[in-house]
């Protein structure tokens, strides 16, 4: 949800608050010296830690290596971007001995950076920049759509860094300001997980004040594929580290907003949004289209089960997906409605006018200099090349993401799944369906629970149910992109 809309806060899943954004200039002055790209070099000698506060230069990166990751290094510098009330850092994770570079933003907590938890946020796509989450949803500043500020952003008092230290990571390579020197790519989630783990390990072990802090992995949309795999890789590497007597990452929870998880439930969920009452009290799709969708749905489900799930057959799976898209989702795609909020029309790139404004803002030379951007390419909200590469590998379909989630729950990793009820792309009803059939030891108890209303000032704001480490929450009247304060309350209170 964007800055002009309601921002949600709950106590226990929080309390609802609506607010207007206040104009706030965040880039008081921009230096004139170019940022040094630095050079890649393997770490030598003993590994040492330092304080993040020791990094004071806004003009040059400090390169940090780690003996266990000789092909990786993190470069970081201080920045005056977005939130003048806290220390802000930007930088790159260099991968493959400097061939690939993943860009990140880091904002210290406004409350107590020396003791607050750490959260990593990623956007989905695949191929979409986390700058979208930063400037449209949950970051310290929002893109200014009203021309109320002098520099293009507005202050966000409800940012997630109100209570946590927050990373925004552009991954995989090619996303946002991340880039490759020689055309290298990452084309699967499992390969991307290795780079995310290396980045987190180098950061936590280098900056000693964060060592042992609770770490929360959060994201949305294709994050339903990314995050379970990333978290599972972190957990497995922690097991190896424990056996070898090394430090581990204190990964405490995974938070997925409007995520794509079980592909078998996607089209059933979309049917309920359009032709049932999952979004509105009265279905908005025409009766004739609903009849066509209802007739096609069994064939869609059968084809996907046989070719994408029971036995993965690339040709058969692609044919099944094409059939489902054309026959079940085709009517909505021709409707002109917003894929991410069915209560709105689709306007502009990604159905939001904010997307183009963010691109123009981040392409300004002064902003790129402030951030320390090195890539010569212009900013793209969602990189089509990255998306095509993942789609060519059928990454969404090759590994059932719900299997990772079940494994994490069995090991006690807390999981928050939240969904806005107006989202069509990765609708809440699809999440409801896959959670009900998720194979883990808490499944029976979960299905015995009734949804409970959570209310704000006497008004229903959504529904929630839990079983052990799993919580599922809906946010009534919200779309795909939600800056949900409930997540912070859930993280900090449990």
What is the per-residue pLDDT for 128? Answer: 95
C-alpha span between 301 and 304 (Å, rounded) = 5
pLDDT tens-digit readout, 373-419: 999 899 999 999 999 999 999 999 999 999 999 999 999 999 999 99
Q: Is residue 87 classed exposed, middle or buried when 0-12, 13-18 and 19+ CB atoms within 10 A define those classes?
A: middle
Across 125-134, average pLDDT: 94
7-285+335-493 falls under which CATH superfamily?
Alpha/Beta hydrolase fold, catalytic domain (3.40.50.1820)
Q: How confident is the model at residue 313 (pLDDT cuts 50, 70, 90)?
A: very high
pLDDT at position 47 is 55
> What's residue 483's pLDDT?
53
CA distance 265 to 327: 16
User: Is 221 known to be catalytic?
Assistant: yes
Q: Please, which pLDDT band fits residue 6 given cuts at 50, 70 and 90?
A: very low
Above 50 in pLDDT, residue 1? no
Cβ atoms of 475 and 421 closer than 8 Å? yes
Q: Is the peptide bond before 320 cis (omega within 30 degrees of 0)?
A: no
At 425-447, the pLDDT tens digits run: 999 999 999 999 999 999 999 99
pLDDT band, residue 39 (cuts 50/70/90): low
Tell me what pLDDT residue 257 has.
95
Task: Using alpha carbons, select from 342, 339, 363, 347 the residue that is nearest to residue 131.
Answer: 363
Closest CA to 220 of 285, 356, 124: 124
Q: Is the pLDDT of residue 360 over 60?
A: yes
Least confident of 181-195, 350-364, 407-421: 181-195
Position 235 pLDDT exceeds 60: yes
As a dihedral over the C-alpha atoms of residue 346, residue 347, residue 348, residue 350, rounded to 10 degrees, the angle is -30
Given a cut of 70, whether residue 244 has pLDDT beyond it is yes
Task: With H, G, I as helix, E, B as strand and everything else as coil, classify residue 291.
Answer: helix
Cα separation, 474 vs 8, in Å, equals 12
**The whole model's pTM is what?**
0.89
Whether 335 sits among the annotated catalytic residues: the reply is: no
Match 């590998």 to its residue by tokens.
Answer: 393
149 annotated active-site: no
Distance CA 255, CA 283 (A): 30
Say if CB 206 and CB 64 are below 8 A apart.
yes
Note the pLDDT of residue 8: 36
Catalytic residue among 178, 355, 480, 483: 480
Of 83, 423, 431, 467, which is the active-site residue? Answer: 423
420 neighbors 475 (Cβ within 8 angstroms): yes
Look-up of token digits 């925004």: 168
pLDDT tier at 288, thresholds 50, 70, 90: very high
Give pLDDT, residue 41. Answer: 59
**pLDDT tens digits along 64-117:** 888 888 888 889 999 999 999 999 999 998 988 888 899 999 999 999 999 999
Tell which wins on pLDDT, 481 or 246. Answer: 246
Phi and psi of 4, rounded to 5°? -85, -5
Give SS3 for 436: helix
Query: Annotated catalytic residue: which of 221, 253, 335, 381?
Result: 221
């Amino acid at each position: 949800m964007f800055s002009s809309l309601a921002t949600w806060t709950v106590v226990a899943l929080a309390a609802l608050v609506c607010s207007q954004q206040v104009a706030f200039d965040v880039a008081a002055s921009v230096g004139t010296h170019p940022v040094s790209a630095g050079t890649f070099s393997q770490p030598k000698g003993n590994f040492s830690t330092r304080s993040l506060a020791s990094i004071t230069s806004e003009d040059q990166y400090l390169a940090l290596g780690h003996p266990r990751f000789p092909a990786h290094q993190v470069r970081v510098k201080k920045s005056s971007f977005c939130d003048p009330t806290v220390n802000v850092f930007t930088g790159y994770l260099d991968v493959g001995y400097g061939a690939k570079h993943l860009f990140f933003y880091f904002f210290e907590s406004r409350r107590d950076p020396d003791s607050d938890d750490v959260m990593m946020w990623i956007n989905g796509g695949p191929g979409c920049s986390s700058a979208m989450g930063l400037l449209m949803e949950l970051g310290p500043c929002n893109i200014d759509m009203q021309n109320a500020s002098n520099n293009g952003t507005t202050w966000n008092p409800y940012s997630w860094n109100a209570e946590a230290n927050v990373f925004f990571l552009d991954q995989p390579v090619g996303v946002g300001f991340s880039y490759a020197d020689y055309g290298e790519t990452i084309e699967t989630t499992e390969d991307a997980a290795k780079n995310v783990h290396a980045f987190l390990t180098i950061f936590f072990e280098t900056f000693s004040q964060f060592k042992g802090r609770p770490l929360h992995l959060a994201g949305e949309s294709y994050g339903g594929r990314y995050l379970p795999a990333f978290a599972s890789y972190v957990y497995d590497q922690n097991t190896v580290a424990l056996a070898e007597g090394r430090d581990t990452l204190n990964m405490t929870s995974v938070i997925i907003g409007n995520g794509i998880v079980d592909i078998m439930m996607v089209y059933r969920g979309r049917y309920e949004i359009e032709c049932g009452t999952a979004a509105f009290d009265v279905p908005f799709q025409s009766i004739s289209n609903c009849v066509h969708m209802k007739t096609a749905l069994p064939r869609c489900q059968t084809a996907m089960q046989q070719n994408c799930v029971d036995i993965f057959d690339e040709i058969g799976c692609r044919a099944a997906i094409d059939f489902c898209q054309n026959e079940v989702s085709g009517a909505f795609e021709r409707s002109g409605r917003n894929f991410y909020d069915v209560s709105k029309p689709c306007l502009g790139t990604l159905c939001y006018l904010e997307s183009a404004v963010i691109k123009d803002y981040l392409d300004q030379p002064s902003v790129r200099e402030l951030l320390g951007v090195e890539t010569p390419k212009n900013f793209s909200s969602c990189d089509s090349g990255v998306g095509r590469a993942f789609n060519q590998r059928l990454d969404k379909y090759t590994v059932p993401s719900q299997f990772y989630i079940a494994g994490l729950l069995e090991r006690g990793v807390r999981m928050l799944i939240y969904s806005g009820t107006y989202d069509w792309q990765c609708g809440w009803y699809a999440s409801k369906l896959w959670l009900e059939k998720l194979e883990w030891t808490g499944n029976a108890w979960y299905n015995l629970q009734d949804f409970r209303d959570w209310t704000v000032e006497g008004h229903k704001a959504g529904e929630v149910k839990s079983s052990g480490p799993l919580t599922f929450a809906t946010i009534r009247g919200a779309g795909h992109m939600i800056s949900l304060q409930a997540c912070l309350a859930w993280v900090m209170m449990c």
